[in-house]
Amino acid sequence: MIGSSGENTNNIQELNDNKMLERLLDSFSTITKMNVAVTNIDGRYLLASKKGETDFCRLIRSTATGLKCCCGSYARAGREAEKWNEPYFFKCHAGLVAWACPILMNGKHEGNFICGQVLMWEPDEYNIQEVMEMTQKLELDKAILREAAKKLEVISADQMQAAADLLYVTTNYFANSGTSTLDYQQKLRKISSWLWNENYNEKEIQVQETVEQDIVELENEIFREIRLSHKESSRKLLHKLAVKFFTHSKGKIEIIKGLSIEFISLLTRFATECGTKFEESIRYSFKRLNELEQADTVEKAILWLLTTGDAYIDLLTAKEADPLETTVNQAISFIQENYTSVELSLKVIANQCGISPSYLSRIFKNKKGYTITEQINRTRIEEAKRILQGSDITVEETAKQVGFGDRSYFCKVFKKQVGLSPSDYKKRF
């Protein structure tokens, strides 16, 4: 029985594009020397092994009535197979033996594997005559049909059961890996279409510095929304970030990989700061790292970023609400939005959170392990590092931009956190 947890796999028609399924069908036919096909619930062929139908079946299906009868036989067998959740053996309208295995997608019966169209006895004159009588209404050339019937494959009961068992194993393998492969392919196609559409819709060509600024701002927005447990808005921002990575890299996969690893590393550190155990956090970021390394298309790299980022968003927004943690996160978000103001202080932040400065100071230190002033300075210095690396702005102007009213104090805090003076840092980078 085929099942899937994929959110998009609900149409049997999508199986036409599945190369893994084609290989499975061909491998099955090579081993059993029998044809196997995928049908929809109405019994219509969607995909078949390269071996193809027997001459006899091809003749039967060459007429409208014969095709309708074949589809009816397969549809009825599929319903029975789905009912019992096992291979269902049946004799088709033309007297041949076949069996069906059900295809379920998201718990819904969407189609069948049909195999066989064989005989279990050597076709003597009596058997041939029986077949001819069963197909008489099709008005086919009796001589040609008789010769085709004589060429039908004859198998034993043991061979039939073994083939049915193998088909059942094949369908279960496909359930566990094949449909996930299909989901993955569908997601890649959607990623490709989405990326190029978003790129096309960009009205203005941004300079490199502007794109880099947008990336930093988007990353900070994502962290702020996660702190506030806003799952859906975090996901939307993550998708915007993926588009910015694509724009910034100009479609170069290695740059996208580098940006993705850098962002997920920031998420790892952020998760640890939010109280997630380091081991749990690192598991999310690196359990699929091998997939990113092996990604050979832009779509695969972007899908890795979105999948891993979503896992983090789920992890960090699913935690039970702690009123004190919520207040601390509210304070941090306010700092992120207002760090450029020289008026930013414990009193201003506490007023925003609706509590006294002394209480905010105490719970912040208990939750984070450092003071709220240190949080302000960390935020300002991180932004200062970015400015010093990417522009010709002076140290004094940088200090003003990130909210320091005094240049000497800025230099003191910067050197304490970074280990270099702002001037030395700017020269190095």
Predicted confidence at residue 83, as pLDDT, reads 82
Predicted confidence at residue 74, as pLDDT, reads 92
Predicted confidence at residue 226, as pLDDT, reads 85
- The SS3 call for residue 83 is helix
Place of tokens 């790129």: 199
Q: Place 3 in a pLDDT band, splitting at 50, 70 and 90.
A: very low
User: What span, in angstroms and rounded, lies between the C-alpha atoms of 218 and 216?
Assistant: 5
- Indicate whether 145 pLDDT > 80: yes
Residue 228's CB: how many other CB atoms inside 10 A? 16
pLDDT in tens, 164-179: 887 777 666 555 554 4
pLDDT in tens, 383-400: 899 888 877 889 999 999
Predicted confidence at residue 50, as pLDDT, reads 82
Q: What is the pTM of this model?
A: 0.42
- The SS3 call for residue 108 is strand
Tokens of 47: 């995909």
φ and ψ at 141, to 5 degrees? -65, 115
- C-alpha distance from residue 300 to each of 182, 257, 293 (Å): 14, 10, 10
Tokens of 99: 């069996």
Q: Is 419 left (phi over 0), alpha (psi -120 to 50) or beta?
A: left
Cβ pair 81, 171 in contact under 8 A: no
**Helix H or strand E segment including 22:** helix 19-32
Cβ pair 83, 73 in contact under 8 A: no
Q: Tell me the residue length of the chain.
A: 429
CATH of domain 321-429: 1.10.10.60
Q: DSSP secondary structure string, 274-305?
A: TT--HHHHHHHHHTTHHHHHH--SHHHHHHHH
Predicted confidence at residue 21, as pLDDT, reads 74
Q: In the chain, what are the domain boundaries?
A: 12-187, 205-319, 321-429
Predicted confidence at residue 5, as pLDDT, reads 34
User: What span, in angstroms and rounded, lies between the C-alpha atoms of 404 and 351?
Assistant: 21
Q: Tell me what the pLDDT averaged over the chain comes to.
A: 80
User: What span, in angstroms and rounded, lies between the C-alpha atoms of 175 and 146?
Assistant: 40
Q: How far is residue 331 CA from its own chain's centroid?
A: 34
Provide mean pLDDT across the span 347-373.
Answer: 91
pLDDT in tens, 312-340: 888 787 655 567 877 888 898 889 889 99
Domains 12-187 and 321-429 share a fold: no
The dihedral built from the CA positions of residue 130, 136, 142 and 145, taken in this order, carries a sign that is: negative
Specify which of 30-34, 86-90, 292-296, 348-352 reaches the highest per-range mean pLDDT. Answer: 348-352
Architecture label for domain 12-187: 2-Layer Sandwich (3.30)
Q: Could you tell me which residues come within 8 angstroms of residue 407 by beta carbon, excluding any fewer than 6 positions away?
A: 395, 396, 399
User: What span, in angstroms and rounded, lies between the C-alpha atoms of 168 and 101?
Assistant: 7
pLDDT in tens, 240-272: 898 888 888 887 888 888 888 888 888 887 777
